[in-house]
Amino acid sequence: MTNGDGTGAPNAKIAEVQRLATALAARVRYAQLVGRPVYEEQITALVSAARLMDEANAPWPPMVEEVLTELAKSLDGVDPAPESGGP
């Protein structure tokens, strides 16, 4: 099914990606608020969804943008693990 210009199916798929990414971002936000762990797989899935939306020139839902921005800020503040066998 398309909307006449051949873009109906891709638009529906991106809308579903946006919906699922928003749901996952809400779960991550809840985990952060109640002190539960945020799993690497959740972050990876959000980043993958964001990349997919970027490729389709689709906007990120506000919750996705907020969660990814905060995760990026928290990662920027973490010092990398010291390398073994240092000077």
Residue 60's nearest CA partner among 25, 10, 18, 24 is: 18
Tokens of 34: 């109640």
- Given a contact cutoff of 8 angstroms between Cβ atoms, the answer to whether 61 and 29 are in contact is no
Cβ atoms of residues 25 and 64 within 8 Å: yes
3-20 pLDDT per residue, tens: 444 456 689 999 999 999
Residue 1 has pLDDT above 50, yes or no: no
27: pLDDT strictly greater than 80: yes
The DSSP H or E segment spanning 64 is helix 62-76
Give the pLDDT of residue 37.
Answer: 94
Q: What pLDDT digit, counting tens, does each position of 32-83 carry?
A: 999 999 999 999 999 999 999 999 999 999 999 999 999 998 888 765 555 5
